């Protein structure tokens, strides 16, 4: 069983489903409202655990009901919460999601996720240095991402940096990451609208650009390759990227080739979009293998 540490956000998603988005200043009647576990870090932790990895989460929640729900959800999914702290000075992070016209729009209020600091990461140094792979995203402070890049590099632990949501990242951090997995809009911000085909060549077998239902693009050192997504009836694409990242990390850590790892991750991500909620459709190992 591979061992993974995930450093990132844990939030509650407040999801409104509606047939159309309101215009500025307009009030409309929506269809439904649900609260479900989310946050990019927590989503990746749950996805990896369902795929059979031993998962340690490093994160923060508040001393409120949402925090309790998140911790119970980790436990129910077999995620180790030794390094999930409850903070008294901030509320649990929330994501305010509108699902309309086949896509989502999201406002994240980071709350307790802002306390996922280098000091907290330091407490988990032992499990990080013994991990087969570490995953990190950007709903936590920038210094934490920089610190994790340092320690993974120093300890020879592969690091998958999922640069979501987008914000500029230093060259040093990019160099220290083993894999970088932006979606198309994050790639445009990260590489300042440089020609993506040229950028891919600079990062062979490292930069993977996810392109939603088109699949994933990367450069293998000789050719630019697109591994197509699987065609499914999408119900809710929230968390597709998280499922992709977790599944890809599990597969490469298990020793699968780049191409096979992307296929495995595309399959897992395609299953995840067939159900409501970021974590609602995240598949088990058996479900992915049974469908491949």
Q: How far is the CB of 16 from ligand RIB (least distance, A)?
A: 13
Partners of 97 in beta bridges: 15, 106
User: Looking at 103, 220, 242, 260, which residue is catalytic?
Assistant: 242
> Which partner, ligand ATP, ligand RIB, none, binds residue 11 by CB below 5 to 8 Å per kind?
ligand RIB
Interface with ligand RIB (CB under 6 A), residue from 5, 14, 38, 216: 38
Interface with ligand RIB (CB under 6 A), residue from 2, 48, 61, 95: 95
Phi/psi of residue 240, nearest 5 degrees: -60, -45
Site residues for ligand RIB, 108-167, by CB under 6 A, read 108, 139
90 to 63, 64, 129, 270, 290: CA distances (angstroms):
8, 9, 29, 35, 43
> Which partner, ligand ATP, ligand RIB, none, binds residue 108 by CB below 5 to 8 Å per kind?
ligand RIB
Say how far residue 159 (Cα) sits from the centre of its chain. Answer: 13
- Which tokens is 14 given? 């407040």
Residues in the chain: 292
Torsion angle of alpha carbons 291, 265, 121, 191, nearest 10°? -160
Taking only Cα atoms into account, the Rg of the chain, rounded to an integer number of angstroms, comes to 18
Annotation marks residue 119 as catalytic? no
Phi/psi of residue 10, nearest 5 degrees: -130, 120
How many CB atoms sit inside 10 A of residue 124's CB? 20
Interface with ligand RIB (CB under 6 A), residue from 77, 113, 238, 243: 238
Q: Are 35 and 235 in contact (CB under 8 A)?
A: no
> Which partner, ligand RIB, ligand ATP, none, binds residue 13 by CB below 5 to 8 Å per kind?
ligand RIB
Site residues for ligand RIB, 40-59, by CB under 6 A, read 40, 43
> Which partner, ligand RIB, ligand ATP, none, binds residue 216 by CB below 5 to 8 Å per kind?
ligand ATP
Q: How far is the CB of 238 from ligand ATP (least distance, A)?
A: 5
Q: How far is the CB of 108 from ligand RIB (least distance, A)?
A: 5
Peptide bond into 35 cis (omega under 30): no
> Which partner, ligand ATP, ligand RIB, none, binds residue 95 by CB below 5 to 8 Å per kind?
ligand RIB
Binding site for ligand RIB (CB under 6 A): 11, 13, 38-40, 43, 95, 106, 108, 139, 238-239, 241-242, 278
| Catalytically active residues, by annotation | 242
């Amino acid at each position: 069983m591979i061992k993974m540490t995930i450093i990132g956000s844990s939030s509650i998603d407040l999801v409104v489903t509606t047939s159309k988005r309101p215009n500025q200043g307009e009030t409309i009647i929506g269809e439904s409202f649900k609260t479900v576990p989310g946050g990019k870090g927590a989503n990746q932790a749950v996805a990896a655990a369902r795929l059979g990895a031993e998962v340690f989460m490093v994160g923060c929640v508040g001393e409120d009901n949402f925090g309790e729900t998140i911790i119970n959800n980790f436990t129910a999914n077999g995620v180790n919460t030794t390094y999930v702290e409850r903070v008294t000075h901030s509320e649990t992070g929330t994501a305010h999601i509108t699902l309309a016209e086949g896509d989502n729009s999201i406002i994240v209020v980071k709350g307790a996720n802002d306390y996922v600091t280098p000091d907290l990461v330091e407490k988990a140094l032992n499990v990080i240095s013994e991990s087969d792979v570490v995953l990190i995203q950007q709903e936590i402070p920038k210094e934490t991402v920089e610190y994790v890049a340092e320690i993974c590099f120093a300890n020879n632990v592969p690091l998958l940096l999922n640069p979501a949501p987008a914000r500029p990242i230093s060259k040093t951090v990019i160099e220290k990451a083993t894999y970088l997995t932006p979606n198309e809009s994050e790639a445009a911000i990260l590489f300042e609208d440089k020609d993506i085909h040229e950028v891919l060549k600079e990062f062979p077998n490292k930069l993977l650009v996810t392109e939603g239902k088109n699949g994933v693009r990367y450069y293998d050192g000789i050719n630019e390759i697109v591994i197509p997504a699987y065609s499914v009836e999408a119900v809710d694409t929230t968390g597709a990227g998280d499922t992709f990242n977790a599944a890809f990390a599990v597969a490469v850590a298990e020793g699968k080739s780049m191409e096979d790892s992307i296929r495995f991750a595309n399959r897992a991500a395609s299953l995840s979009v067939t159900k409501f909620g970021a974590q609602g459709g995240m598949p088990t190992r058996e479900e992915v293998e049974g469908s491949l």
